[in-house]
Amino acid sequence: MTHGVKVTFVDPDSSRELAHRIVARGTMVLDAALEAGIDVTATCGRRGRCRSCRVRAVSGEIAPPTLQDTIQLGPDGVRERYRLSCQMPVVADCTVAAMPVRNELGHQIMADAGVFSPGAMPLDCGVEKRVIRAEAPQDENHQTSDIEQVLACLPAGTSRDVPFSVYRKLPAVLREELGRLTVTTFQDRIIDIEAGETSEHMYGLALDIGTTTVVGSLHKLRTGEQLASQGAVNTQAVFGGDLMSRIAYAQFDVKKLQVLRVRILNQVNEFIGAMTQQAQVAPEHLYKIVVTGNTCMHHLFLGIDTSYVGLAPYAPVVRDPLVIPAGEIPLKKAPNARVCLLPILAGFVGADTIAGIIATRIYESESIRLLVDIGTNGEVVLGSRDRLLVCSAPAGPTFEGGQVRHGMRGAVGAIERVSIDEDIACEVIGDAPAIGICGSGLIDAVAKMRDAGILDAAGRLWRPGVRPLAEALRSRIVQDGESRAFVLVRSAQGGRGEDVLLTQNDIRQLQLAKAAIYGGVMMLQRIMDVTDDRIEEVMLSGGFGNYVSIESAVRIGLLPPVPVARVSYVGNTALLGAQLALMSETERARAFDIARNIEHVALATRPEFQDIFVDACRLGVL
């Protein structure tokens, strides 16, 4: 009989015990941590392709390093008993220091859409509050019922299909203030009844459930005024940073699907709780919640199997816009709300893209515009009111720090800007010592290295004899196993600490990632026969777009070679679109119209995409 072994988790700074857990020998430390209630980020989905889940063994016997450990953490790292917890089986009682999970404060999240101006559109949110005076039944001979008395005071089109919760409270409410009561309807169906006059209190939420972050805002439905907002890292991230990792985690496994679902439901419920508290709004007065997000997040939120969303032809289970009582989902923190999910177009063109189209109004543009959302699964929309094309561009986790040696998200300690003169200078988030590089830093570094001649158009690191290079820069090019790397920041403590490197492989990863996006743009341009000069505006959206240097993005050829003045950052268009659909049923209906009419281009099925992709790998047109 095998006995369990004890794994103790301690804080890396204070060495204070965080938790411990008895597990079966052979359990991965990452699983032990999750079982013990400690969130350890596993960006690459436990494939040993990133360093996000690393831990350090403080005491006790541990397994020898795997090949992945050595690749990701380096010979020094594994000697210092660092390991990837996703690759590290427990072999005996041990104590490990878990890296703190990136929390909301450390991580840059844009909770505000930033551009929302309710004046620009009709306020027809679909929710109505009517104050009526209904008499309780009085006459035994003329039989009626409580609900019939209420319906008699409402417009004729009001549905007789009344929710349970209303029947349950109706007898008391009808008799409380002599029949004076407020009836709330959504789309002509009663959703709540309250004693007295409460018509001022009518609120709604917009919510964008992204793979990386979840953001939301609370609004007054009468005016559109934003009363609160909230943003945080998606708590599912511990099961994988990108979509495919999460699909893989739950594939053909209902229990794991439930794990993901419960995570996001808890998080959204906490969000609602926080926002209603912030805005001093009673949860009962939330009536409409518009949710957007990519197809996978949409399905996971509803507990719908995503197994086949991850397999060609990547079909969603449902694409129609759904309207669901919050209690059925269940969102317990908004008992009376109707949850409206924006429609989906395809497995990798989700409700967030549709929301972005609504928000940017590209569908009514006279000239050709381009909308690009850079992310692990980027989306590209090209067109005008005459025709709209969309494709998804699987960039992978590189922009979020995945599959990059010292990659990390945009948190404290991440290099985010680089300037190169005689030597290199790095700007670090939070003015902290550099511990890694985030996606925007990566783009900036590569652009500047390209300008400085450290990289050629094919992405190769400088070699002696090609062209001259300043000594300070030359000395930063070092051997890294069988390949080479560029030292962005030298460790302060000399040999013991870690240099922050950009390896030749990291640069390749960036080229592949940016080629996925730009290849998508080129493909749509080709199908629509649009040359670069005909693109009137390039709109960058999404959380990532806010931090990227537009010059650098154009420089490395992540975006088409248009004058920088034509490129702008348009904010979190997914949340913005959700806000528009929250405030206007016209806009919500438009989302469905757009989803039905936009043309979807499946890049992988196009033979010509191979060549386009290879071209798109080049670092800039110069």
Taking the complex as a whole, the smallest distance from the CB of residue 116 to its own copies amounts, in Å, to 29
**Residue spans of beta strands (DSSP E) within 148-196:** 180-186, 189-195
Beta bridge partners of 341: 291, 322
Between 301 and 518, whose beta carbon lies closer to its own copies?
301
**CA–CA separation, 329 vs 549, rounded Å?**
40
Beta bridge partners of 390: 381, 600
Taking the complex as a whole, the smallest distance from the CB of residue 324 to its own copies amounts, in Å, to 7
Which range binds its own copies by CB under 8 A, 232-240, 309-317, 400-408, 518-526?
A: 309-317
Which range binds its own copies by CB under 8 A, 37-45, 178-186, 304-312, 458-466?
A: 304-312
Interface with its own copies includes 178 (CB under 8 A)? no
Interface with its own copies includes 601 (CB under 8 A)? yes
Interface with its own copies includes 593 (CB under 8 A)? no
Taking the complex as a whole, the smallest distance from the CB of residue 442 to its own copies amounts, in Å, to 30
**CA–CA separation, 157 vs 187, rounded Å?**
10
| Nearest of 475, 467, 410 to residue 440 by alpha carbon | 410
Task: State the virtual CA torsion across 202, 208, 213, 216 in degrees, nearest 10.
Answer: -10
Interface with its own copies includes 123 (CB under 8 A)? no
Between 146 and 379, whose beta carbon lies closer to its own copies?
146
The two counts, helices (H) then strands (E), for the chain are 16, 26
Radius of gyration of the chain (CA): 27
Q: Which of 224, 316, 375, 571 binds its own copies (CB under 8 A)?
A: 316
Tell me whether the omega of the peptide bond preceding residue 330 falls within 30 degrees of 0, making it cis.
yes
**CA–CA separation, 78 vs 93, rounded Å?**
19
Taking the complex as a whole, the smallest distance from the CB of residue 166 to its own copies amounts, in Å, to 9
Q: How many CB atoms sit inside 10 A of residue 192's CB?
A: 22
Q: Which of 14, 479, 531, 605 binds its own copies (CB under 8 A)?
A: 605
Q: Which of 6, 175, 484, 508 binds its own copies (CB under 8 A)?
A: 175
Q: Which of 3, 13, 328, 496 binds its own copies (CB under 8 A)?
A: 328
Q: Which of 9, 314, 462, 613 binds its own copies (CB under 8 A)?
A: 314
Taking the complex as a whole, the smallest distance from the CB of residue 34 to its own copies amounts, in Å, to 24
Taking the complex as a whole, the smallest distance from the CB of residue 254 to its own copies amounts, in Å, to 9
Taking the complex as a whole, the smallest distance from the CB of residue 240 to its own copies amounts, in Å, to 20
β-pairing, 203-209 vs 127-133, is unpaired
Find out whether 197 and 130 touch, Cβ atoms under 8 Å: no
Which stretches of 105-241 are DSSP H helices?
146-151, 164-176
Distances (CA, A) of 4 to 10, 31, 64, 615: 19, 14, 20, 55
Between 33 and 150, whose beta carbon lies closer to its own copies?
150
Interface with its own copies includes 602 (CB under 8 A)? yes
| Nearest of 212, 100, 211, 115 to residue 438 by alpha carbon | 212
Interface with its own copies includes 307 (CB under 8 A)? yes
Q: What is the DSSP letter of 226?
A: E
Between 131 and 602, whose beta carbon lies closer to its own copies?
602
Element (H, E) at 510: helix 504-528
Which range binds its own copies by CB under 8 A, 187-195, 301-309, 360-368, 532-540?
A: 301-309
**CA–CA separation, 82 vs 521, rounded Å?**
41
Interface with its own copies includes 317 (CB under 8 A)? yes
Which range binds its own copies by CB under 8 A, 55-63, 97-105, 310-318, 487-495?
A: 310-318
Site for its own copies in 134-173 (CB under 8 A): 136-141, 143-148, 160, 162, 164, 167-172
Interface with its own copies includes 318 (CB under 8 A)? yes
Find out whether 376 and 350 touch, Cβ atoms under 8 Å: no
Q: Is the dihedral of CA 430, 432, 435, 436 positive or negative?
A: positive
Find out whether 527 and 601 touch, Cβ atoms under 8 Å: yes
**CA–CA separation, 598 vs 146, rounded Å?**
48
Q: How many CB atoms sit inside 10 A of residue 268's CB?
A: 24
**CA–CA separation, 234 vs 246, rounded Å?**
12
**CA–CA separation, 35 vs 26, rounded Å?**
14
Between 144 and 266, whose beta carbon lies closer to its own copies?
144
Taking the complex as a whole, the smallest distance from the CB of residue 133 to its own copies amounts, in Å, to 17
Q: Give the count of residues interacting with its own copies (CB under 8 A).
A: 49
Interface with its own copies includes 253 (CB under 8 A)? no
Between 100 and 303, whose beta carbon lies closer to its own copies?
303
- CA 22 to mean position of chain CA atoms: 34
Interface with its own copies includes 313 (CB under 8 A)? yes
Interface with its own copies includes 604 (CB under 8 A)? yes
Any idea how long the chain is? 622
Taking the complex as a whole, the smallest distance from the CB of residue 596 to its own copies amounts, in Å, to 11
Interface with its own copies includes 304 (CB under 8 A)? yes
Q: Which two tokens stand for residue 495?
A: 């040999």
Which range binds its own copies by CB under 8 A, 192-200, 217-225, 338-346, 540-548?
A: 338-346
Taking the complex as a whole, the smallest distance from the CB of residue 172 to its own copies amounts, in Å, to 6
Between 122 and 171, whose beta carbon lies closer to its own copies?
171
Interface with its own copies includes 412 (CB under 8 A)? no
Q: Mask of contacts with its own copies, 341-360, x by CB under 8 A? A: ---xxxx-x-----------
Taking the complex as a whole, the smallest distance from the CB of residue 145 to its own copies amounts, in Å, to 4
Q: Which of 319, 417, 588, 590 binds its own copies (CB under 8 A)?
A: 319
Q: Is the dihedral of CA 429, 433, 438, 440 positive or negative?
A: positive
| Nearest of 332, 352, 335 to residue 343 by alpha carbon | 352
β-pairing, 322-325 vs 189-195, is unpaired
Residues that bind its own copies (CB under 8 A): 136-141, 143-148, 160, 162, 164, 167-172, 175, 302-305, 307-308, 312-320, 324, 328, 344-347, 349, 600-602, 604-605
